[in-house]
Amino acid sequence: MDDVQVIREPAEMREQSRRWRSEGHRIGFVPTMGYLHEGHLSLVRLAAARCDRVVVSIFVNPTQFGEGEDLDAYPRDEAGDLAKCREAGAHMAWIPDTPAMYTPGYQTRVEVAELSKPLCGASRPVHFSGVATVVTKLFNVVEPDVAVFGQKDYQQLQVVRRLVQDLDFAVEVLSGPTVREPDGVAMSSRNAYMTSFERSQATCLVQGLRAAWARFDAGERDVDALVAAARATIDRAPDTRVDYVEVRHPETLEPLTTIEDRGVLAMAVFLGKARLIDNTVLGGAQRP
Ligand code: AMP
């Protein structure tokens, strides 16, 4: 398989993308922050199945990190990432540096107002405007036909879908299911932060999702009862600190009291320094 090309300058990336388009190629795009794992690669494969050219961006976006978050500690492995990109069928890795993305005097932010408020937005108030801003910038440079995001970051996916609709991006947004480790823990670059003891406790999130599914399958539709089932499982693991466990409307993310059809059960849990997130759509087609 051909080596994956590396581009760093946004202007060069745009040029390459336009060249491909003029040659009639359909361009798929997978934005990432690097330190790639099977979850990322599943999205690359999905893009490769639908498009002739696949661009993976690797950019640890500072505007989506709040004060005191893990921006400086975020794990990096460019050489490893490039090898994985190639294996998964990507054609281009776009790895811009921060000054190229945020030029001096930069002062514009994109805000997806309501979807950014609940769940992760409550404890990470600047996070989703950082995401919406960088996704806008990345889309404007790559001009992809298709962009692929993971359901692992469920709220982010809804924010991006809304952004694309509201700002008239000519991009088809696709999503891929959460890829898990054999013990059920959702793959995440941030799993590297955990000690081996914390890692052994991390299964409590997926077990919480499964406990709620068990109640759902038994006919339970009351949101408080479903949340309680998930929380009881998480609270049994030592050294966990729950940020939130909630059930909300799967598209609007508005609160629900009972599930009519489907509801997204989403959670964020601290295990030591790592803040882990996971989710499932109760009543949906996929189970964790
Ligand atoms: P990140 O590098 O964490 O910003 O993630 C880049 C993309 O990969 C996002 O669309 C994530 O939702 C997606 N992603 C991260 N982890 C997983 C996973 N375990 N399964 C599927 N997609 C994932």
What is the per-residue pLDDT across 128-167, written as a single tens digit (0 to 9) for each?
999 999 999 999 999 999 999 999 999 999 999 999 999 9
Alpha helices in 144-272 (DSSP H): 154-166, 196-201, 203-217, 223-236
Beta bridge partners of 276: 269
Q: Ligand 1 centroid vs 45 CA: distance in angstroms?
A: 13
Interacting residues of 41 by C-beta distance below 8 A, sequence separation 6+: 84, 87, 88
Q: Please report, in angstroms and rounded to a whole number, the separation of the first and last CA atoms in the chain.
A: 33
**Which atom of ligand 1 has the smallest separation from the CA of 153?**
12
pLDDT tens-place string over residues 204-247: 999 999 999 999 999 999 999 999 999 999 999 998 999 999 99
CA of 150 to the centre of ligand 1 (A): 5
At residue 5, the pLDDT reads: 96
Q: What angle do CA 34, 38, 40 make, to 5 degrees?
A: 45
Q: How many CB atoms lie within 10 A of CB 74?
A: 18
Closest CA to 228 of 239, 238, 203, 242: 242
Distance (angstroms) between ligand 1 centre and the Cα of 21 equals 26
pLDDT cut 70: percent of the chain above it: 99
For residue 121, give the H/E element and its range: helix 120-123
Active centre residues (catalytic): 40
Alpha-carbon distance values, 19 to 15, 51, 130 (Å): 6, 15, 29
**What is the average per-residue pLDDT within 165-178?**
98
Ligand 1 probe mutation, 43, 56, 146, most atoms within 8 A of CB? 43
Angle ∠(163,129,116) on CA atoms, nearest 5: 75
